[in-house]
Chains A and B, each alone.
Chain A
Amino acid sequence: MSQAEKSQAEKSQAERALSSDPRGSRNPLWTLGLLRSEITTLLRRHRTYALLGVLAAVPVLIGIAVRIETGGGGSGGAGGPDGGAGPAFLAQVTNNGVFLVFAALAATLPVFLPMAVGVVAGDAIAGEASSGTLRYLLVAPAGRTRLLLVKYASVLAFCLIATLVVAASALAVGALLFPVGEVTTISGTRIGIGEGLVRAGLTALVVAVSLTGFAALGLFVSTLTGSGIGAMAATVGLLITVQILDSIPQLSGVHPYLFAHYWMSFADVLREPVHWDDLVKNFQLQGLYVAVFGSAAWARFTAKDVTA
């Protein structure tokens, strides 16, 4: 480069330095690029498949166990469809494979499903911090609020995917091992198979929404530490603690505020007509958790020193 060219380059450099035009316009849709990247990145980890694999295996195990238990015979239990204590919906599975969807969701909701969500949510920020990639996302610049929102959205996507994996696996196993037909609701009325499948899908949605509060809690924990493993362990520890607290009758005063307290209300979707009271309470509680821990996560993350 000649001297003249050099000074020319310097001049244009100086001009650029002086112009205050922020380069490149910000298209609001481009922000979705990060969400897509987040979800595809999540779906390319072996860990995600391990979690989903465990969840998909639960209905298979239940289905096989019920099948062996009833010796493959036609007449199953005419057990009272009260949906209360004990393994919910199990009795109906032999008569109608669709019930395996409800049985599998009831079996995975207390521990397996939220544990998987806890791993993904706890790792969301802390995992990026411990691998050092967080600093590069932030100087990209992803924007702290934007990154947190995208992380939460991807955790929610995982809640839905995980629930659907359980439901789909259960439906497949149920249809394979058991007869499929009209569904007897908890209220004792019978609805057609089509309507029954709609209720099953609705139930899966309700279960996914039930996990949103816990997901927000996990995300908050994730902003507190720079260790991915630590955040996952803490989040899952919180889950187990809450489940224990919820089972101690002497603590009934705090039960309505525990995120897991109304989880089993999803069974009310199977009443005729749908019994909304506890479902609504559940949604309100989840909303409260999302608001409280979402704000806490935001306050923490936007003020955090990122040194890892």
Chain B
Amino acid sequence: MTDTAAESEAGDAVAEDAREGHAAVTGAGSGNPAPVPATGAPVIRTRGLTKRYRGGQLAVDGLDLTVAAGSVFGFLGPNGSGKTTTIRMLMGLIDPTSGTAEVLGRPMPAAARTVLPEVGALIEGPALYGFLNGRDNLLRYDRADPTADPRTRRARVDEALARVGLAAASAKKAKAYSLGMKQRLGLAAALLRPRRLLVLDEPTNGLDPQGMREIRSLVRELAAEGTTVFLSSHLLDEIEQVCTHAAVMARGRLIVQGPVADLAASARGRLAVTTPDPGDAARILKEHGLTGLSADGDRLTADAPPAAVDLADLNAALVGGGVRVRFFGVERGSLEDAFVALTGEGFDVAG
């Protein structure tokens, strides 16, 4: 499990605060935000949601998804696994072939007019009017919302620009923006009003590491304020770093969903021993019934033993057998291990 030291450096005070608070709950210190208890009605709920495109491509197949209020929900899957298609259905941009979707407790796309003002969305990257400047782009999107109060419009636009760090560039034409700036402006459009749900489709796509860190810390900040965030990504470590809950998609089907910590734990961890006597260590571990042994220099790993086996006994056996143990412990599984275990295929294989 990688730590997120680099993240922390970039993260600002608010994000830090939020995670500090969570650390007490998990006690894991893994850098994962704690799972927020699932209270209230689900913010997103789909039943048998299916989309077959005109061309015959079955993009989403019988999706049953539940996103609890207050969670940072990672929607994970390789390219082409149906993430964007699902988001388009949730936002009422396309009609499902079959099945139902509810957002904020109301059916989509039927209730789009009442639901969407409370939802901010970034779908498949930003889209802007290149001949308008940053501020005018936001003004136009805000005017498109018939429930947005025109009296507070300018103030809200300025606030959103400041929030994503674009205040200084707001008078520049959008076509002169860099990809990162466009992405931020898209995010600002999603933040024009206080939202109950933010839907972010691969928000760090195409950004440099610095831009990624900034977007992620903004997401944490928003989540800490109580906004439910639905974040799609094809980056496993992104989901592990940012999300409390996750669903894994492959070829249009939902493989698994649940708290990120549970998902990662469901992948069996590995017992790792570092020793100058790997041969003896391997023999002793084998005698104790451990499987999946593999040695790499002075590092020996094996499938984690079942919970009934006390690791202390195992360690004592090694030491008692004359093995000089430099390191001994179980390395927890990552989301990637979980994905490989669940699908039997590497994560980079497109559906």
- On whether the beta carbons of A13 and B69 are closer than 8 Å, the reply is yes
B2: interface (CB < 8 Å): no
- On whether the beta carbons of A24 and B117 are closer than 8 Å, the reply is yes
A142: interface (CB < 8 Å): yes
Please encode chain B, from 97 to 120, with 1 for each CB lying within 8 Å of some chain A CB and 0 for all others. 000000011000000111011110
Contacts known (A14-B69, A17-B69, A44-B131); A140 close to B93, Cβ less than 8 A: no
A59 to chain B, nearest CB (A): 28
- On whether the beta carbons of A33 and B39 are closer than 8 Å, the reply is no
- On whether the beta carbons of A30 and B148 are closer than 8 Å, the reply is yes
B298: interface (CB < 8 Å): no
- On whether the beta carbons of B129 and A142 are closer than 8 Å, the reply is no
- On whether the beta carbons of B113 and A307 are closer than 8 Å, the reply is no
B155: interface (CB < 8 Å): no
- On whether the beta carbons of A26 and B93 are closer than 8 Å, the reply is no
Given A6-B21, A37-B139, A44-B131, 17 more A-B residue pairs with CB atoms under 8 Å apart are: A11-B39, A14-B40, A23-B147, A30-B146, A30-B149, A34-B144, A34-B146, A135-B93, A135-B123, A136-B123, A138-B91, A139-B92, A139-B121, A143-B112, A305-B93, A307-B53, A307-B88
Closest to A16 in B: B196
- On whether the beta carbons of A139 and B91 are closer than 8 Å, the reply is yes
- On whether the beta carbons of B132 and A41 are closer than 8 Å, the reply is yes
Q: List 16 A-B contacts (CB under 8 A).
A: A13-B70, A17-B105, A24-B148, A24-B149, A30-B147, A33-B150, A34-B146, A41-B140, A44-B131, A131-B127, A133-B128, A135-B127, A141-B117, A305-B88, A306-B93, A307-B94
- On whether the beta carbons of B139 and A14 are closer than 8 Å, the reply is no
Main secondary structure of the interface of A (DSSP, over half): helix
- On whether the beta carbons of B94 and A305 are closer than 8 Å, the reply is yes
Q: List residues of chain A with CB within 8 A of the CB of B121.
A: 136, 139
A residues apposed to B, CB below 8 Å: 1-3, 6, 9-18, 20, 22-26, 30-31, 33-34, 36-37, 41, 44-46, 131-133, 135-143, 146-147, 303, 305-307
Q: Total interface residues on B, using CB and 8 Å?
A: 57
B280: interface (CB < 8 Å): no
A81 to chain B, nearest CB (A): 46
Q: List residues of chain B with CB within 8 A of the CB of A143.
A: 112-113, 146
- On whether the beta carbons of A1 and B17 are closer than 8 Å, the reply is yes
For the complex of A and B, the 5 pairs showing the least CB-CB separation, nearest first, are A132-B127, A14-B40, A140-B144, A141-B116, A142-B144
